Structure 1
């Protein structure tokens, strides 16, 4: 196996562990509420601290990764995140909030640096697949955490759950330090990152990505409540949710291969956006339909809403000059995190005060708006060294 696949495996593992914190922790919300004596909204604020820290730190970590390399970036970030998670286990609610903010600040290093590793080691012909593997680690890490962490929190207590998270995070940071290196002749960036952040195409891609997160998080936030409101048990609705996530995770690999074969990231992204919009409109129309019909549309629509991320991340990296992909990826991710922080509240508010169908139509409109932003577009500049490098 080529060394580049070792780098990809370590990067994907780091991405999955990072997802365990910012996506998996809601699985122990009841235990956090009881342990820290919090109300439900206060638990929401506590968990939101991770996303806030991540959003703030993404671009600075991207600049650091481009200048100093992904190994140092992810090692520092992993050790820092592990220390912050350990602090959650030792403190009260206030300290826990600050520590989770710190975990987000340090954990953001993985998002930009692991993407830079893929851009550095894989050529344009197989980068879509590689980035799909990296992106698939996010839902898998969150799913594994949701399956394991509640049992630890219930049987051993919340502090032990955070010690476990800290231990895994530290282990991955050690693996990064020992096993990850840059390819021969890798380019380090200078001081002109501001030019990348002002690039019109990157700004458009970032805004389109943020809009596509609206249907993604509308689906993930409302699928279980929607099916429950239509008479399905919570357990059965959770199974449907899990199936949709698994299909969406497999879809990340499939669309990555698709983009490699057509040598274009944004073309497939535009198609997915429009099919996704149609799916959400159908869900809105089927609001009063029998549950099996609703499920038959919800599952593929949710999978489509989950599967596109790797395409946007890869395109962001390929838009950047050689050696500056981490900064570009961080910029694109920042828009995603901002939208992810807002969408669950917005979708829930619309669903409660206007109706389920209105929330689904809002998701469809966001997908169409993203499609409009991506037209016209040229991808994979053949002259860019970022797109022609091939390392094994």
Structure 2
């Protein structure tokens, strides 16, 4: 096995560990509410601090990664995130909020830096699969945390749960420090990153990605309430459907990565996935009162489409960047995703409750159509770029 797969494995592990915090913590919301004596909206604000910190820090970490390398960035970020998680275990609600903000600020280092490692070590012909592996670590890390962390929080308490998260995060930071390095001849960026951030293609891709997060997080946030609260399915059965959709979405990230490698295009498959996602949500809206088996038969593949596209957009962002600046470009693209992820659950839930459930589904479809329109005039200039011809084993 080439060393590049070691780098990818460690980067994926770091990505999954980061996801354990920003996607896995909602699984212990009831315990957080009880431990800190908070209302449910206050717990939402507490958990939102992680996403806020991540969104703020993504681009600065990307710039540093391009200038100093991914090992330094992910090691510092991991140690900082672990320290902040320990502070959550030791503090009150206010300290916990600030510490989770800090966790997001430090944890954001992983998003851009691990993507840079993929761009550096893998050639264009295999990046789709490699980035798919990296992106699949996100739902898997969240799923594992949701399965394990509530038991720890219930049996040993919230402080112990955060000590465990801190320990795992510190272990991964050590693995990064020991195992991750840049390939021979890797190019470090200079000080001018403004050209990357002003690239109209990157800006359009970032906006399209942010729009595609709307159906993604609509599926994530509303699938269980739709099936349980709106259609009367048991919580256990609805959660099982949610789990199946998440697992299929993770597998879909690998599949579309391979597809994009064979098609020698990221945007082509991304356009098709956008259309399939929009069509699926239109069908879900139309089948709102259909028999449950029929609704589920449409809802699950629609969720799969909504969840599977991320690696395509991340890879395209990295390939758009000049040599040595892929982390900055990936961070820019990710910032739009986190902004949309912070807003979508509230907006989609509000529309579902105060307007109609089909309206929330149609809102997701409209966002996917808008993303497809933004990608329509796309012209790729990747073929002649050194960034896209590098091959390291």
Q: Same fold (TM over 0.5)?
A: yes
TM-score (norm 1): 1.00
Report deviation, 1:380.
Answer: 6.0
Report deviation, 1:377.
Answer: 1.3
In structure 1, the partner of 2:270 is 269
> Does the aligned pair in 2 maintain the 1:255–1:308 contact within 8 Å?
yes
The residue correspondences of 1:170-319 to structure 2 (distance < 5 A) are 170-228=170-228, 229-319=230-320
The residue correspondences of 1:1-392 to structure 2 (distance < 5 A) are 1-228=1-228, 229-379=230-380, 381-392=382-393
Structure 2's unaligned 5+ residue stretches are none
Report deviation, 1:379.
Answer: 3.1
CA distance in 2, matches of 1:379, 1:119: 17
> Does the aligned pair in 2 maintain the 1:27–1:150 contact within 8 Å?
yes
CA distance in 2, matches of 1:179, 1:135: 20
CA distance in 1, matches of 2:172, 2:381: 32
Structure 1: 4+ residue segments shifted above 6 A: none
- Matched residue count: 392
The alignment partner of 1:189 has SS state of coil
CA distance in 2, matches of 1:121, 1:381: 17
Report deviation, 1:5.
Answer: 0.1
User: Alpha-carbon deviations, 1:269-299, whole Å to 9, x = none?
Assistant: 0000001100000000000101100000000
> Does the aligned pair in 2 maintain the 1:380–1:387 contact within 8 Å?
no
Report deviation, 1:378.
Answer: 2.5
CA distance in 2, matches of 1:333, 1:145: 22
CA distance in 2, matches of 1:146, 1:3: 31
Report deviation, 1:27.
Answer: 0.2
Report deviation, 1:102.
Answer: 0.1
User: Alpha-carbon deviations, 1:333-358, whole Å to 9, x = none?
Assistant: 00000000000000000000111000
CA distance in 2, matches of 1:360, 1:42: 27
CA separation of 1:348 and 1:176: change in aligned 2, threshold 3 A: same
> Does the aligned pair in 2 maintain the 1:315–1:379 contact within 8 Å?
no
CA distance in 1, matches of 2:57, 2:162: 22
CA distance in 2, matches of 1:119, 1:282: 37
CA distance in 2, matches of 1:112, 1:77: 11
Instruction: Report which stretch shifted further, 370-379 or 284-293.
Output: 370-379
TM-score (norm 2): 0.99
> Does the aligned pair in 2 maintain the 1:263–1:380 contact within 8 Å?
no
Instruction: Report which stretch shifted further, 117-126 or 372-381.
Output: 372-381
